[in-house]
Structure 1
């Protein structure tokens, strides 16, 4: 039996052996950064960690040689990867279906709409013409954001047609529609933490898995609040608490009880 840890940049690599010592199991680390630590039974350093399937292959190879009891992955970019691996290996914890709405803005919107939770307007951008269509439909100003990754980032604020043309001619949207990155467009607004009643409605639609907390932001529409975004948010608890929860060693404490990372 082993615990496998995914840590793309080695940020917590020196801490996991102490955090998970009471599991009584060997730790095996898969990382994109060279690490030398005596607390691991094995360390796999993979090239192009973020842009290839080498991390997944490393975990599957480890699982072929030793039984894996749990997979720990704290980095936001590892959530879908870890979920798919848990599904494939039959491990407890968050699977890919639960991770997807917390990683993909359009998936979150679809799940919440299906549950009757009010959401802010947002549309996928697959080609330049999509921007013109939604500008016609909604008017200006508009905000362009990543569909996945750091969805708080605003890649462009489009205040008028001239700004849209300038953005469309820039490097983010290449001429080949097959190369357009995964983006969304929405009416420009300033998100705020969601009020408690709206956050509770989101939690009813998207139950929190142990070790995978998320935050909810909202925007106002007249007198009403609409969900703007739901995203995996490891800052809601200490890294140690989340690692132990994902390893099945302890429940996640309330935020007020969480220790500092």
Structure 2
């Protein structure tokens, strides 16, 4: 018999996934388990994130991103609680709860461009969760699924681009915030970011976010010819949601600007 986990894992990959029906089934199971199942929580987080890609209103997207963040962090809380109870090693699937926590905080940081404090707060949390994802990869070198996760590679590449675009006062504020934590600020390394994004494209060639991020990063590196090539590759991808359509429009604008 197919479990709700297996059904989710199969359905979420489909281009024509019925997010509303899948969400309804997950929520029913979540309530049946008294909101205490960490496996359901991180899956709900990812589903809500994917659903938000079809929204156009910034405020609605921000609210859905917050909801996604809460489910992911609830999943981590429940995994930790279960680990403490059983005194066993943490479940491998904490990786996915960490990944979706990072994805949600990274997206929320983009919506706080005018509020430096909130932007730095979400970026700090983004880094915290991303670093924990990378630690899990190091601890499980033979787990190909988590070590070839295209979204983790994408987040690493995108952070390099974001780091290169920080204003001096923002960078100082960010460094001050991190100085009160155990989180180290990664060094600016655009070439490493480029390599991560290229690997992510190999793993998920239809993920259009990779192309726009890599295009901007290549422009930063003054690799204009490479940027043009990546833009053309991105424009060949099929749009699956409103977010993809906006990225396609942006790719066209960059193409026109570069000539």
Do both share a fold (TM > 0.5)?
no
Could you say which structure has the larger radius of gyration? 1
Q: Going by fraction, where is strand more abundant, 1 or 2?
A: 1
TM (norm. structure 2) is: 0.32
Higher relative contact order (CA closer than 8 Å, sequence separation 6+): 1
Q: Going by fraction, where is helix more abundant, 1 or 2?
A: 2
TM (norm. structure 1) is: 0.31
